């Protein structure tokens, strides 16, 4: 295979994917395996391009002398010719005669133009089969050009122009528009553009404080869990009342570890049951799509039935409460062993199966963030399984155990109102996550983060043992609340849930089918990847309305614990920090993915999570 033609740091002209436009870009790296260059556009967008889509700047300067002006009329003529092209074109192209082909090449040369309207330099030329076929698996569809041109126009013209584009893409305004037909065809065009896939390269920007940060987090996270649990066990869980450390041997019990293993295996068996539909995930960097079985909700129902049977046979579920710390230690030991296994197996994984976020080459960093994106044993997807089943369903079971423990310890015939609220709110949250299991396939956890210590510990230890802190707290620290207070907290939880659910559904529905008539009143900004960014509805209110709803719910989960201690508020405080950090990570990824369009979105929707505050 020939070696690379362009060096790192070299400034060249890179074709904007799916279009006939060339921009000035800088080569940042080269993937020897996939033979793709990672290039950076001036607006910050990073894309992987084939060598055939990159040209030296000098070749453009040479053509400049041949070029004529880039008048708008020329441009529109180029576009109208493009529009007649259909996705079936490549086959026709292959049938072309040699003379036609020669003619075509000459034609292409003639129409090469260069403009100097603004930076980045824009070059238009008539597309040819050769050019359009160079894109990884994308159909030869010059309609894609239209999208790129729209983006380009946005870049070149001031904000008024964006307003025009937004109006153009408003489905509502189209209804009465005379040009309905034309615009609809343009929308189809927009939807037809395939996302640009990027072959994973080395992770250059380290998150979580890099190597030192991830090293420290590996100790800090388990320490925090044990500190919180020990605090909760104390009669006075004030922050300054530091708990005394238990004897090491009291933390481990083989039987508890056995119960934990049984739980994990039971969930694995439920996951493997051939019930529930099988769906495809988002395309991987290779273009391949993995299949996932959606049966989390069934697993939950089966678990509920199993727990019912246990209770019927007088199994003391508060065993969980009595050995809570030992269960946490077992889960932590298991997640550490799992992380070691995951890292070792990732060393043999092919380059294209490594996680975009966990391929730095630094052991600690990759071990923590996860080196392999989708580790699977056969069709058993370890990350997908751990994300929603043993930990999340385990959280509900722990809450129930706390409720029973409260009744037993305090000799109650019914659980306290506070305990009922905490159990119900969190049950709703878990059931919602399992009911909408498919939505997890588009989250950062699945598409970007590898499976390593961070997610293994997070899913198996942090979620079940920290998120159940309020219920654990209430067992040792009974809190009485009145019915009006309970009603007010319930309303707060419902408001949070409504925002959280409708925002997530709005985006998920839009991603699945942008033409859905139910979304006809929403406006969006088109982007060069083919996906739009909603600018009205919940996603026009703040940039992460789903986080806002989630935080409101988190507050409603803590309030039933009263105001005697800050400990039950740990969750809401931690959750705000987590989501602010997550929002920043997502923002960074979106900026890379969408470049200028994302900046436009941020201008239009200035607040990230809290309206008028942040």
Choices 14-22, 296-304, 380-388, 436-444 (CB under 6 A): range interacting with ligand NDP: 436-444
79 or 582, CB closer to ligand NDP?
Answer: 582
Q: Is 323 a residue that touches ligand NDP (CB under 6 A)?
A: no
Note whether 547 binds ligand NDP by CB under 6 A: yes
Exactly one of 126, 174, 383, 544 binds ligand NDP (CB under 6 A); which one? 544
Residue 321 neighbours by CB under 8 Å, 6+ apart: 401, 402, 404, 405, 472, 475
The DSSP output letter for 519 is: G
Smallest gap from Cβ 333 to ligand NDP, in A, equals: 22
539 forms part of the interface with ligand NDP (CB under 6 A): yes
Query: Which tokens go with 523?
Result: 């406006």
User: Which stretch, 149-157, 292-300, 335-343, 504-512, contacts ligand NDP (CB under 6 A)?
Assistant: 504-512
Q: CB 435: neighbour CB atoms within 10 A?
A: 13
Name which of 318 and 507 has its Cβ closer to ligand NDP: 507
Which of 194, 371, 389, 507 touches ligand NDP (CB under 6 A)?
507
Residue 546 Cβ, how far from ligand NDP at the closest point, in Å?
Answer: 3
Neighbours of 520 (CB within 10 A): 12
511 part of the interface to ligand NDP, by CB under 6 A = yes
Total binding residues toward ligand NDP, as defined by CB under 6 A: 21
User: Which residues, 6 or more positions from 345, have their beta carbon under 8 angstroms from its beta carbon?
Assistant: 372, 375
Helices and strands of the chain, counted as H and E runs: 27, 13
- Work out which of 533, 542, 567, 572 binds ligand NDP, going by CB under 6 A: 533
Query: Is residue 513 a contact point for ligand NDP (CB under 6 A)?
Result: no
CA angle 20-22-24, nearest 5°? 170
- Write the interaction track for ligand NDP spanning residues 461-500; mark x where CB under 6 A is met and - where it is not: ---------------------------------------x
| Site for ligand NDP contains 46 (CB under 6 A) | no
CB 22 within 8 A of CB 534: no
Least CB distance to ligand NDP at residue 606 (A): 13
Give the 3-state secondary structure of 450-478.
Answer: CCCHHHHHHHHHHHHHHCCHHHHHHHHCC
Hey, which residues between 71 and 90 contact ligand NDP (CB under 6 A)? none
Task: Please name the residue ranges forming H helices in 379-522.
Answer: 382-388, 390-409, 417-435, 444-447, 453-457, 463-466, 469-476, 483-512
CA 87 – CA 18 distance, rounded (Å): 12
Q: Which of residues 444-463 bind ligand NDP (CB under 6 A)?
A: 444
550 near ligand NDP, rule: CB under 6 A = yes
| Candidate residues 443, 521, 564, 603; the one interacting with ligand NDP per rule CB under 6 A | 443
CB of 343 to ligand NDP, least distance (A): 23
- The pattern of x and - marking residues 93 through 112 that bind ligand NDP according to CB under 6 A reads --------------------
Would you count residue 501 as binding ligand NDP (CB under 6 A)? no
CA within 13 Å, CB half, 173: 11
Beta-sheet strands, E only, within 32-66:
36-41, 46-50, 54-55
296 membership: H or E segment, kind and range = helix 296-312
According to the binding rule CB under 6 A, does residue 546 interact with ligand NDP? yes
Q: Say how many C-beta atoms besides its own lie within 10 A of residue 12's C-beta.
A: 23
Dihedral angle sign, alpha carbons of residues 315, 316, 322, 328: positive
Write the interaction track for ligand NDP spanning residues 554-593; mark x where CB under 6 A is met and - where it is not: ----------------------------x---x--xx---
What's the first-to-final CA gap in the chain, in angstroms? 51
Among 111, 416, 479, 504, binds ligand NDP (CB under 6 A): 504
Please tell me whether residue 392 adopts helix, strand or coil conformation: helix
By the criterion CB under 6 A, which residues form the site for ligand NDP?
A: 442-444, 500, 504, 507, 510-511, 531, 533-534, 539, 544, 546-547, 550, 582, 586, 589-590, 601
């Amino acid at each position: 295979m020939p070696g690379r033609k362009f060096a790192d740091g070299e400034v060249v002209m890179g074709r904007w994917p799916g279009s006939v436009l060339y921009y000035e870009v800088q080569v940042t790296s080269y993937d020897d395996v996939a033979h793709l260059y990672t290039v950076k556009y001036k607006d910050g967008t990073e894309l992987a391009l084939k060598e055939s889509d990159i040209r030296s700047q000098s070749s453009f300067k040479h053509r400049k002398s041949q070029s004529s002006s880039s008048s708008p009329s020329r441009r529109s003529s180029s576009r109208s010719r493009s529009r007649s092209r259909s996705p079936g074109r490549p086959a026709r192209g292959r049938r072309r005669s040699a003379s036609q082909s020669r003619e075509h090449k000459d034609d292409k040369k003639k129409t090469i133009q260069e403009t100097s309207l603004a930076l980045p330099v824009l070059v238009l030329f008539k597309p040819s089969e050769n050019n359009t076929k160079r894109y990884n698996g994308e159909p030869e569809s010059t309609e894609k050009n239209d999208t790129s041109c729209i983006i380009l126009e946005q870049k070149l013209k001031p904000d008024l122009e964006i307003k025009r584009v937004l109006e153009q893409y408003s489905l509502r305004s189209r209804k009465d528009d005379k040009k309905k037909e034309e615009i609809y065809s343009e929308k189809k065009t927009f939807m037809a553009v395939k996302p640009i896939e990027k072959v994973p390269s080395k992770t250059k920007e380290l998150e979580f404080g890099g190597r030192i940060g991830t090293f420290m987090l590996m100790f800090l996270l388990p320490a925090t869990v044990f500190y919180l649990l020990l605090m909760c066990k104390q009669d006075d869980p004030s922050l300054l009342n530091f708990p005394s450390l238990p004897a090491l041997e009291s933390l481990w019990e083989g039987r508890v570890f056995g119960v934990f293993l049984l739980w994990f295996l039971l969930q694995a068996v439920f996951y493997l049951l051939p019930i529930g539909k099988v769906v495809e995930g988002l395309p991987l960097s290779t273009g391949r799509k993995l299949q996932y079985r959606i049966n989390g909700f069934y697993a939950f129902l089966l678990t509920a039935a199993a727990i019912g049977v246990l209770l019927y046979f007088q199994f003391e579920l508060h065993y969980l409460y009595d050995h809570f710390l030992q269960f946490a230690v077992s889960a932590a030991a298991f997640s550490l062993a799992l992380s070691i296994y995951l890292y070792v197996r990732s060393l043999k994984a092919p380059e294209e199966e490594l996680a975009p976020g966990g391929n730095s080459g630094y052991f600690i960093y990759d071990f923590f963030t996860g080196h392999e994106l989708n580790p699977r044993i056969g069709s058993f997807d370890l990350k997908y399984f751990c994300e929603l089943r043993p930990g999340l369903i385990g959280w509900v079971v722990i809450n129930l155990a706390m409720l029973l423990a409260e009744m037993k310890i305090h000799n109650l015939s019914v659980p306290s109102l506070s305990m009922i609220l905490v159990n119900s709110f969190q049950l709703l949250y878990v059931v919602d996550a399992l009911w909408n299991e498919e939505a997890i396939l588009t989250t950062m956890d699945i598409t970007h983060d590898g499976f390593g210590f961070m997610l293994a510990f997070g899913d198996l230890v942090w979620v079940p043992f920290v998120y159940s802190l309020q219920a654990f707290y209430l067992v040792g620290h009974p809190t009485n609340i009145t019915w009006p207070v309970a009603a007010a907290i319930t309303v707060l939880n419902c408001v949070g849930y409504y925002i959280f659910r409708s925002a997530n559904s709005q985006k998920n529905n839009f991603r699945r089918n942008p033409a859905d008539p139910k979304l006809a009143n929403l406006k969006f900004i088109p982007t060069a990847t083919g996906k739009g960014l909603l600018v009205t509805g919940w996603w026009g209110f703040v940039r992460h309305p789903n986080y806002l709803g989630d935080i409101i719910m988190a507050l409603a989960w803590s309030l039933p614990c009263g105001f005697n201690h800050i400990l039950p508020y740990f969750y809401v405080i931690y959750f705000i920090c987590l989501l602010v950090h997550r929002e920043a990570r997502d923002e960074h990824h979106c900026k890379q993915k969408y470049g200028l369009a994302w900046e436009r979105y941020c201008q239009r929707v200035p607040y990230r999570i809290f309206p008028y505050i942040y």
